[in-house]
């Protein structure tokens, strides 16, 4: 049969890995990315990547990694696929090592491992404190190699608009827009792999990058893809608050010995270092003696909220806590953590080696995402596969630190060959799809652009976005109260209405970033609703989803996956059971 056509959308870790796997199997790939792939959000991952290689003589194993991941995710992830990921992780590290990632080394020349949240083992391989960057570059280089052999064709500076679905709702390609010329075009494909990352922009002030809008997931959702577990949003306990974004202060800072504390006396205005040890409240260490500063993120974040908002023990003048590294040796800090410390110094000023950092939780990651089946990374739309943060499968209700990189790469490794296999087995490929199907989709998207460009009104997209972010951050992150979620839904109605009166300040047809952003904003508003509806419905507390009105996990009613679907502007929630065949749920106490 003819060589199948595969498209990968998104050039972060998952997308690049999927691309490599497809190209390696001899099938040419077209790779689409909004930014040059080397600038993808994966570069922001700092701390490391988990794999139970047990190189420290602690008796770690892939089963314990699996157990930690399921337990950390509060038992709502389907277990077999998580187990497969944990089993594949050591080989993934080896692969990355072979690709030339500059992982930190032991004196013997082997990979060094450090501790991370939610585990008691040294399981996290790292390259300084810019591990995501180093991994992304390694994969980028391999893709570049395939590109030089004409096995990969890159479309950088293109944004995905919609999938091309034929009359049987089978995916036959994509419709995308060149962000420079604003040309809207369709690209036929037998299978498309979506690796479009996070959705942080919905919450605006997050640790995510500008492109993490979830626009592709939302578009696919509107075309019939299930969106699963949207309500599980991870808020990272330690970030620098900022107006444009919150800058992540990696968990590895605590993994290497950093301690979180506040002054015991409210309103203590003394400089941090002059506060004597006995007047410091190391609340994580006191409350969670076993895991200390390395409790999972949801637990640490809630602890900080409790200290700041309930016990009113915040730092003078701001909602923040200290993350203290000043007791650690300088040489170690420079060797293992420089990348993060540099960010703090550049954006805040003081040297964290000398002065404790002031940090506060910030929205960081979505555990939820496009629904996929259990072994092929396939969505419910035939021909659409997905990997990375944009799918929901691996992290349950709370992701453990340093598990995201491994899930991205593992997902890409599975999705690539799965897409090739699917495409090869197709009876009729995209070549047999009538031209009219592509033409219709392109026209639909051009019309969407035109209608936005010609829309009259006085609403500004940035203003709507700011309000969206503020509401979502306040009501749909750490603490969820049903009444507030209801109010948020009403607010979303208002924003939807105002969105229909958005006035584009730029109506040109050349690198029109306003048009691009406004299209993304429209999609964000819909995903925001999925997240809020999911949170409203789930009347329990599980992992990152915390409802004071329902403070306990409720396995009887809620040990199930949320599946949202979209039909004619209406969002419907349904539920499916979780595969707990390997590990019976137990209560989660750190």
Partner 1 sequence: MMADKTFILRIKRQAAPQERVVWEEFEIRYRPHLNIITCLRDIAEKPITRAGDGTTPISYDANCLEEICGACAMLINGYPRQACSALVDNLEKPIRLEPLTKFPLIRDLQVDRSIMFENLKRMKCWVPIDGTYAIGPGPRMSPEQQQIGYPMARCITCGNCLEICPKVNDHTQFVGAAIINQVRLFNMHPTGNMHARERLEAMMGPGGIQDCDNAMNCVKVCPKSIPLTESNNEINRQVLKHAVWDWLNFSEGPTERDEEWKRLGIQK
Query: Binding to partner 1 (CB under 8 A): which residues in 354-383?
Result: none
Got the DSSP string for 467-529?
Answer: HHHHHHHHHSSS---HHHHHHHHHHHHHHHHHHTTB--S---SSS-HHHHHHHHHHHHHHHHH
Taking the complex as a whole, how short is the minimal distance between the CB of residue 270 and partner 1, in angstroms?
Answer: 22
Long-range contacts: 95-104, Cβ < 8 Å, 24+? 96/49, 96/135, 96/138, 96/409, 99/138, 99/139, 99/141, 99/142, 100/138, 100/141, 101/127, 101/134, 101/135, 101/138, 102/127, 102/128, 102/134, 103/127, 103/134, 104/128, 104/335, 104/336
Q: What sign results for the dihedral spanned by CA atoms 555, 561, 566, 569?
A: positive
Half-sphere exposure of 302 (CA within 13 A, CB side): 21
Tokens of 406: 């491994």
Tokens of 453: 């460009």
From residue 535 to residue 574, the character string flagging contacts with partner 1 as x (rule: CB under 8 A) and all else as - is ----------------------------------------
Interacting residue with partner 1 among 26, 57, 59, 107 (CB under 8 A): 107
List for the chain the helix, strand, coil content (%; round to 5): 40, 20, 40
Taking the complex as a whole, how short is the minimal distance between the CB of residue 139 and partner 1, in angstroms?
Answer: 10
How far is it, in rounded angstroms, from Cα 301 to Cα 590?
14
Binding to partner 1, residues 162-191 (CB under 8 A): 180
* DSSP conformational letter for 93: H
Interacting residue with partner 1 among 148, 168, 454, 567 (CB under 8 A): 148
Binding to partner 1, residues 284-343 (CB under 8 A): 335, 339, 343
Total residues binding partner 1 (CB under 8 A): 72
Taking CB under 8 A as the binding criterion, the range among 262-270, 362-370, 436-444, 504-512 that sits at the site for partner 1 is 504-512
How far is it, in rounded angstroms, from Cα 148 to Cα 227?
36
Binding to partner 1, residues 113-132 (CB under 8 A): 127-128, 130
Cβ proximity to partner 1: between 343 and 408 the closer is: 343
Cβ proximity to partner 1: between 396 and 401 the closer is: 401
Taking the complex as a whole, how short is the minimal distance between the CB of residue 533 and partner 1, in angstroms?
Answer: 29
| Beta strand extents in 42-134 (DSSP E only) | 49-50, 113-115, 122-125
Rg of the chain over Cα atoms, rounded to whole angstroms, equals 23
Interacting residue with partner 1 among 62, 133, 213, 293 (CB under 8 A): 133
Cβ proximity to partner 1: between 347 and 439 the closer is: 347
446 classed as catalytic:
no
Binding to partner 1, residues 441-470 (CB under 8 A): 460, 462-463, 466
Taking the complex as a whole, how short is the minimal distance between the CB of residue 355 and partner 1, in angstroms?
Answer: 16
Interacting residue with partner 1 among 167, 244, 277, 435 (CB under 8 A): 244
How far is it, in rounded angstroms, from Cα 400 to Cα 299?
11
- Spatial CA neighbour of 420 closest among 36, 27, 114: 27
SS3 of 105, please?
strand
Tokens of 312: 């009113």
CA dihedral 505, 509, 510, 516 (to 10 degrees): 60
Binding to partner 1, residues 378-437 (CB under 8 A): 413
Taking CB under 8 A as the binding criterion, the range among 106-114, 268-276, 391-399, 421-429 that sits at the site for partner 1 is 106-114
Cβ proximity to partner 1: between 117 and 128 the closer is: 128
Taking the complex as a whole, how short is the minimal distance between the CB of residue 204 and partner 1, in angstroms?
Answer: 10
27 touches partner 1 by CB under 8 A: no
Element (H, E) at 259: strand 259-263
Interacting residue with partner 1 among 247, 475, 519, 529 (CB under 8 A): 247
Q: Point out the catalytic residue in the list 297, 480, 529, 553.
A: 297
Pairing of strands 158-165, 191-194: unpaired
62-72 vs 79-98: helix crossing angle, rounded to 10: 120
Cβ proximity to partner 1: between 77 and 93 the closer is: 93
Residues 6+ apart with CB under 8 A from 150: 28
Taking CB under 8 A as the binding criterion, the range among 208-216, 494-502, 524-532, 574-582 that sits at the site for partner 1 is 208-216
351 touches partner 1 by CB under 8 A: no
Cβ proximity to partner 1: between 137 and 385 the closer is: 137
Taking the complex as a whole, how short is the minimal distance between the CB of residue 544 and partner 1, in angstroms?
Answer: 23
Cβ proximity to partner 1: between 78 and 514 the closer is: 514
Q: Cα–Cα–Cα angle for 233, 235, 237, nearest 5°?
A: 160
513 touches partner 1 by CB under 8 A: yes
Taking CB under 8 A as the binding criterion, the range among 78-86, 97-105, 260-268, 554-562 that sits at the site for partner 1 is 97-105
Cβ proximity to partner 1: between 197 and 258 the closer is: 197
Taking CB under 8 A as the binding criterion, the range among 35-43, 288-296, 311-319, 559-567 that sits at the site for partner 1 is 35-43
Cβ proximity to partner 1: between 223 and 511 the closer is: 511
Cβ proximity to partner 1: between 100 and 329 the closer is: 100
Find out whether 407 and 215 touch, Cβ atoms under 8 Å: no
Got the DSSP string for 312-367?
Answer: --PBTTBS-EEEE-TTS-HHHHHHHHHHHHHHHHHHT-S-TTTSPEEEEEEEEEES
Binding to partner 1, residues 466-485 (CB under 8 A): 466
Binding to partner 1, residues 261-290 (CB under 8 A): none
Binding to partner 1, residues 46-85 (CB under 8 A): none
From residue 210 to residue 239, the character string flagging contacts with partner 1 as x (rule: CB under 8 A) and all else as - is xx----------------------------
Catalytic residues: 297
């Amino acid at each position: 049969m003819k060589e199948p056509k595969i498209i990968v959308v998104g050039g972060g870790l998952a997308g690049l890995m999927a691309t490599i796997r497809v190209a390696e199997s001899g099938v040419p790939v077209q790779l689409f990315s909004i930014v040059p792939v080397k600038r993808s959000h994966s570069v922001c991952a700092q701390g490391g990547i988990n794999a139970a290689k047990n190189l420290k003589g602690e008796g770690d194993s892939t089963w314990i990694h699996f157990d930690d991941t399921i337990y950390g995710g509060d038992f709502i992830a389907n277990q077999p696929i998580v187990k497969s990921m944990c089993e594949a992780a050591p080989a993934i590290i080896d692969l990355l090592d072979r690709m030339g990632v500059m992982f930190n080394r032991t004196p013997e020349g082997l990979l060094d491992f450090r501790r991370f949240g939610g585990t008691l083992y040294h399981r996290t391989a790292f390259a300084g404190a810019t591990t995501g960057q180093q991994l992304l570059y390694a994969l980028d280089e391999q893709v570049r190699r395939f590109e030089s052999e004409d096995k990969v064709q890159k479309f950088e500076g293109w944004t995905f608009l919609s999938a091309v679905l034929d009359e049987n709702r089978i995916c036959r390609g994509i419709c995308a827009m060149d962000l420079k010329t604003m040309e809207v075009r369709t690209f036929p494909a037998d299978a498309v792999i979506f690796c479009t990352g996070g959705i942080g922009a919905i919450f605006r002030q997050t640790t995510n990058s500008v492109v993490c809008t979830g626009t592709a997931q939302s578009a696919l959702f509107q075309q019939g893809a299930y969106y699963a577990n949207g309500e599980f949003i991870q808020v990272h306990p330690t970030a620098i608050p900022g107006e444009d974004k919150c800058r992540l202060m990696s968990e590895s800072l605590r993994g290497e010995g950093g301690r979180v504390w506040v002054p015991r006396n409210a309103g203590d205005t003394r400089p941090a270092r002059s506060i004597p040890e006995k007047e410091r409240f190391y609340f994580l260490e006191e409350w969670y003696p076993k895991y200390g500063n390395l409790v999972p993120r949801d637990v640490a974040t809630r602890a900080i909220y409790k200290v700041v908002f309930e016990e009113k023990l915040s730092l003078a003048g701001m909602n923040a806590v200290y993350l203290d590294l000043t007791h650690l040796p300088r040489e170690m800090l420079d060797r293992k953590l420089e990348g993060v410390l540099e960010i703090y110094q550049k954006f805040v000023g003081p040297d964290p080696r000398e002065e404790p950092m002031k940090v506060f939780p910030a929205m960081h990651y979505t555990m939820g995402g496009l629904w996929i089946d259990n072994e092929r990374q396939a969505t419910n739309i035939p021909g659409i596969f997905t990997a990375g943060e944009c799918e929901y499968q691996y992290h349950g209700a709370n992701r453990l630190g340093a598990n995201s990189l491994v899930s991205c790469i593992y997902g890409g490794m599975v999705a690539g060959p799965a897409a090739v296999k699917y495409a090869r087995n197709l009876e009729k490929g995209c070549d047999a799809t009538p031209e009219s199907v592509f033409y219709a989709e392109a026209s639909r998207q051009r019309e969407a652009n035109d209608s936005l460009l010609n829309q009259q009104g006085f609403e500004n997209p940035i203003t709507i976005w700011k309000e969206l972010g503020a509401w979502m951050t306040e009501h749909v992150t750490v603490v969820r109260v049903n009444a507030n979620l209801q109010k948020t839904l009403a607010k979303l109605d208002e924003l939807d209405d105002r969105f229909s009166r958005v006035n584009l300040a730029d109506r040109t047809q050349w690198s029109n970033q306003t048009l691009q952003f406004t299209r993304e904003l429209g999609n964000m508003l819909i995903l925001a609703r999925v997240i809020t509806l999911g949170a409203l419905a789930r009347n329990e507390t599980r992992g990152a989803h915390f409802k004071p009105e329902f403070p306990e996990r409720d396995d009887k009613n809620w040990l199930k996956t949320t599946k949202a679907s979209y039909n004619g502007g209406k969002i419907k929630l349904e539920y499916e059971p979780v595969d707990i065949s390997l590990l019976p749920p137990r209560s989660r106490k750190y």
